[in-house]
């Protein structure tokens, strides 16, 4: 089993939630590789910090693809998990923003994309359609072009739905493939096998306190990110 030796970067923690900045290459939940997932790193962190023997509760609310970096929210109680799951499912009282560095600047500086996605479970790939087809799910996001440096273009993306590979597939469909994303048409990989997609900001209603919260995850310091400042 492969362990991630970099220390956990905690962005926010209270009695109900813990929010961390995931490094690209880290799994959120375990898979067939047997590599240590982020949820286990968070459990270890909580066990050590609070000197808790036995199994520590840490509920997975949402996931990021392995090559994607950024903000991931975990629940420290079952009550917080149920309520946060409802927020994510209904897309009410929650806004998720991502940053992506793409190879080709979109035609429009701002736009809303609506497609229908079909997940190919064999190839772990999302097929994109411009109209509804069998077994498809509606996918919607909006984007805004922020800046360009050399041949790279920084987009801010606001997710309206949460589908498998949604941002990667929809941007590729309009010809704006994410830097390093070989699966969706990038010509070369990033040196660390990441893709330049970062879960940057989440604004949501706290599941217990009912207060509006905004948490921001600092940008990675590798690859094309070093040219862009936020």
Q: Is the pLDDT of residue 3 over 70?
A: no
* Rounded mean pLDDT, 205-224: 93
* pLDDT for position 1: 37
The pTM of the whole model exceeds 0.85: yes
Cα(125)–Cα(103) distance, rounded to whole angstroms?
A: 20
Q: Are 156 and 99 in contact (CB under 8 A)?
A: yes
Mean pLDDT for the chain overall: 92
pLDDT in tens, 123-141: 889 999 999 999 999 999 9
pLDDT bracket for residue 31 (50, 70, 90): confident
Q: Looking at the domain assignment, is residue 227 inside a domain? A: no
The CATH number of whichever domain residue 171 belongs to comes to: 3.30.2350.10
Cα(79)–Cα(76) distance, rounded to whole angstroms?
A: 9
Q: Looking at the domain assignment, is residue 5 inside a domain? A: no
Domain extent for 130: 10-218
Q: Looking at the domain assignment, is residue 4 inside a domain? A: no
Q: What DSSP string describes 187-228? A: SS--TTS--SEEEEEEEEE-TTT--EEEEEPPPPSSGGGGG-
Cα(184)–Cα(164) distance, rounded to whole angstroms?
A: 13
* pLDDT for position 5: 59
Cα(139)–Cα(137) distance, rounded to whole angstroms?
A: 6
* Rounded mean pLDDT, 143-153: 95
Q: Looking at the domain assignment, is residue 223 inside a domain? A: no
Q: Dihedral sign, CA of 203, 205, 210, 216? A: negative
* pLDDT for position 229: 77
- Residue 163: name the closest of 202, 117, 120 by CA: 117
CA 34 from chain center: how many Å? 21
Q: Looking at the domain assignment, is residue 224 inside a domain? A: no
Q: Looking at the domain assignment, is residue 106 inside a domain? A: yes
Q: Looking at the domain assignment, is residue 57 inside a domain? A: yes
Q: How many structural domains are present in the chain?
A: 1
């Amino acid at each position: 089993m492969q362990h991630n030796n970099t220390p956990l970067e905690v962005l926010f923690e209270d009695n109900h939630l813990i929010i961390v900045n995931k490094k690209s290459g880290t799994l959120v939940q375990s898979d067939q590789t047997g590599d240590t997932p982020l949820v286990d790193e968070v459990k270890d962190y909580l066990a050590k910090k609070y000197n808790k023997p036995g199994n520590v509760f840490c509920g997975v609310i949402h996931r990021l693809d392995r090559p994607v970096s950024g903000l991931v929210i975990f629940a420290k109680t079952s009550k917080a998990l149920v309520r946060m799951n409802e927020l994510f499912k209904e897309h009410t009282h929650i806004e998720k923003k991502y940053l992506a560095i793409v190879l080709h600047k979109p035609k429009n500086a701002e736009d809303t994309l609506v497609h229908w996605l079909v997940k190919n479970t064999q190839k772990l790939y999302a097929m994109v359609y411009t109209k509804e087809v069998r077994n498809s799910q509606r996918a919607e996001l909006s984007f805004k072009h922020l800046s360009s440096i050399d041949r790279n273009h920084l987009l801010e993306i606001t997710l309206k739905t949460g589908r498998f590979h949604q941002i990667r597939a929809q941007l590729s469909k309009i010809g704006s493939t994410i830097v390093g994303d070989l699966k969706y048409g990038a010509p070369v990989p990033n040196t660390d096998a990441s893709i330049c997609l970062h879960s940057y900001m989440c604004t949501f209603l706290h599941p217990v306190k009912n207060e509006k919260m905004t948490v921001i995850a600092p940008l990675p310091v590798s690859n094309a990110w070093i040219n862009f400042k936020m």
